[in-house]
Structure 1
């Protein structure tokens, strides 16, 4: 047993009270020699390469086909999404105005309320260097299943000296967050990969405070012919989910107590905000 790396001590200490145990679903958690531990059932969640691994406990979820990016595809995705100039390589394919997108998203992130923020999936957090919100707001919990992308994210956080941020490996269908603890949920270009959107939005709703908000962007099947063909190819191997129209996304969100607003369509990309509906309970 060793003392957790001092680089992550601040994040672990601040974020532990926000998390629930994935074994007994109680909380809060507390800092342990190798990561975090549940005060109720003593289950321990290890810190592996700076990533809190919470994927080994919890319910067995039906395999609905979500495919985390690993290997060469993860490396390519990280390279492509690291800079706006690179994302322009597939702008024509997506019908995406990259300049507008990279102006829009930092502004929306900047408008988020102060408080704990969950980003899922996190990918490589493409706006980390473009949005001041990552420095002034927090703490930030980044959730993904991809070891490759989480490792790259952890390295980027360390390079930038960001210590109120923690990468967590967990399934979006069973988020390791206590009910009503998040001020914000962020989801950038990831909803189209989730096959069970109803459960995803149910988890977002569970984790959010009553005044909480969602900032999201996703690819849809609503773009031009070339982008629709690309989408079908990605659906054929399970990388993208089948229900990816903007209407599908909104239906899943509204079905779990969200009101949709501030919508923007940029080719096949759909950008939106969401808040808890007043009559959602």
Structure 2
């Protein structure tokens, strides 16, 4: 057993992609899945198919688990505490920071070195320059296995010792994805009423999304400093333009819930006397519990 050997527990679409990336980079890879029949192609690529999760865990110093949810993680791992002791366990299953910290406590009680991780990629790009993965937990464990983990994506990043950080980043980034995609789809629905195809709209949307990244960088500094100068436009100005979007959507018969949510949050900022501040002041609305 070499330091570069790796085991993958769970062979859904993502688990298969992880194992395939390890194999492509020349790592001796052992795989296991609860239901049989998903390892055929991996076996053809050189993977060793273990007959049990225990056998799979025993095969490598680095064990990666990627299953449907944290309940499934514990169902797989609970019987393996003794064999995982002294090994590094990397959990790439999506979940919450609370679940990550609870699993870290479970691992510590059994002498297992635990890293939590998040995959910011779809299975098709795992192992390429377009994939980035986030890890949190003991830095020494991450550094020891970074060369192997880097097989999964060029953007491998260590976030810190708090096991919950990778999950927090994950859900925060997914929120940005849904916000962006929902806004694009709302815009496509709006332009569709004028018979503009979404493929015609997409280049304009992408160009504007790229411009908005500049706002993100500028607003981040303001958020950290707690000062929100209106360097581009005030919240008052944003409210006026949001109203244009609401009215245009109403007139076109398009759903108005998304822009109305923006208006509702902005109204709270106005009620708090923040109308003359820059849009970054809206962070205060997100820091408060939902009404």
Q: Which band: TM-score by shorter chain? A: 0.3 to 0.5
- By relative contact order (CA 8 Å, sep 6+), the higher-ranking structure is 1
Using the size of structure 1 for normalisation, the TM-score is 0.34
Bigger radius of gyration among the two:
2
The structure richer in strand per residue is 1
Structure with greater helix percent: 2
Question: TM-score, normalising length from structure 2?
Answer: 0.33
